[in-house]
Amino acid sequence: MSSAATITSIDCLRVRLPFSHGGPAPMFAGKPRTTLDTVWLRVHLASGLVGLGEAYAADLDALVSILQNRVAPLAIGRDAGDLTLTTTLERTLHNMGRSGPVLHALSGLDIALWDLRAKLAGVPLHELLGGARRKRIPAYASLLQYNGDEDLVRRTTAKALTAGYTQVKLHERTVAPVLAARAEAGHGVPLMLDTNCAWDIEGATDALVQMREADLFWIEEPLWPPEDLDGLRQLRDRTGVSTAVGENAGSLHDLLAIAWTGAADWVQPSALKCGGVTALQRVAAACRDSGVRLSPHCAFFGPSFLATLHLLAAYEPEVVVERIFVDLAHIPYARSIPFERGAFLLNDAPGLGADPESSLLESPYVS
Ligand SMILES: [Mg+2]
């Protein structure tokens, strides 16, 4: 039976945000990267209400195809208030892949569903996630890769601190730029390093020993493959450096296993990859109960970023959210969710708290 909360259609936007990080275009998946790309989706209800979601996309066209041809036909006609909808669809589609693009598409749908549920209730999303303990969410500056260029790393670290960030993460793979960033930041500023799975256990051990005076707050994805949880445990035992992992976890269940086994000190679910707000809530609960720390992966700027902020608003202890530190051709939600003195400020508008600006939707960055 149709009601005001019945899903009537889903449409997809391919969002390609040009960015500059002040150096040569960083490599991503074997190619220089000049835009940060995700699929934004709009879920329309019979009432006319619209929910926004965002899905990770290894390929924008492929993801849109999965959303339009596989996910939308199953979601249309269903009630957006049904809390089991995402997991039901995950089960229906499980033969098409338990991880990867199908799960990414469902993640985007789930974020839109939670936006809609909060809008239907007339409350900000954080209220449905347990209530806001804070509406000011501190952020750390996540610098992209400068390929070992010490001067650029040093200057960009200084720029991030001047912009108000109080923590900095690097994406470098060698010792010198890490020591340069520490020298620039001084002691007391948490400094993290993410190698995106660059090393083996011996290489990681050597590098971390040489970086000891950088006093890393955590080492993120130090090992290939990222599933090598025994290696992560060994590395922590050998070096004493805290470890972080999770953005490449295949599914919610892999993330829960990291938390429950204590394989890493920090677990990093990515809302737009691992199952949306529904999955993020499960990982957050596992962290709360296991003592492993929560630090969501946030490499994009759309509805998935807002959804993560809402979850963190309701989570205890306070979590410092990742923010990719680049100059964007358009900063989504710059006015509605402003960044001030090192933190993003949530509001009490229903849902995610902001709809995409017409200046973005009508820009050449969206198709
Ligand atoms: Mg990372």
Global pTM reads 0.98
Q: How far is the CA of 337 from the centre of ligand 1 (A)?
A: 23
Q: How far is the CA of 358 from the centre of ligand 1 (A)?
A: 31
Q: Which pLDDT value is given to residue 46?
A: 98
Q: How far is the CA of 273 from the centre of ligand 1 (A)?
A: 13
Q: Is the pLDDT of residue 42 over 80?
A: yes
Give me the helix-helix angle, 276-290 and 85-92, nearest 10°: 100
Reported as a pLDDT band with limits 50, 70 and 90, residue 2 is confident
Q: 267 CA distance to ligand 1 centroid (A)?
A: 11
From residue 348, give the alpha-carbon distance in Å to each of 124, 126, 135.
Answer: 5, 9, 9
SS3 at position 272: helix
Q: What average pLDDT does the segment 180-206 reach? A: 98
CATH of the domain at 317: 3.20.20.120
- CATH assignment at residue 98: 3.30.390.10
Query: Which of 122, 155, 179 lies at the terminal end of a domain, its last residue?
Result: 122
Q: How many angstroms does the Cα of residue 196 sit away from the middle of ligand 1?
A: 6
What token pair was written down for 322?
């990742």
* Residues surrounding ion ligand 1 at CB below 5 Å: 194, 247
In whole angstroms, how far apart are CA 218 and each of 108, 147, 238?
A: 29, 20, 14
Distance 42 CA to ligand 1 centre (A): 27
Answer yes or no: do 185 and 328 share one domain. Answer: yes
In which element (H, E) is residue 114 found? helix 101-121
Ligand 1 centroid – CA 289 distance (Å): 24
Number of domains in the chain: 2
Could you report the per-residue pLDDT of 249-280, keeping only the tens digit for each? Answer: 999 999 999 999 999 999 999 999 999 999 99
Please check whether residues 73 and 171 belong to one and the same domain. Answer: no
Q: Average pLDDT, stretch 209-223?
A: 98
- Mean local confidence (pLDDT), 200-217: 98
In the chain, % of residues over pLDDT 90: 99
Residue with tokens 């969002």, as numbered in its chain: 15
Distance CA 48, CA 5 (A): 9
Q: How many angstroms does the Cα of residue 336 sit away from the middle of ligand 1? A: 27
Query: How much is the pLDDT for 1?
Result: 60
Same structural domain for residues 105 and 156?
no
pLDDT number for residue 259 = 97
Q: Domain range holding 11? A: 7-122
pLDDT (0 to 100) of residue 226: 97
The residue among 78, 101, 122 that closes a domain is 122
142 and 209 co-located in one domain: yes
Q: For the chain, percent helix, then strand, then coil, each to nearest 5?
A: 40, 20, 40
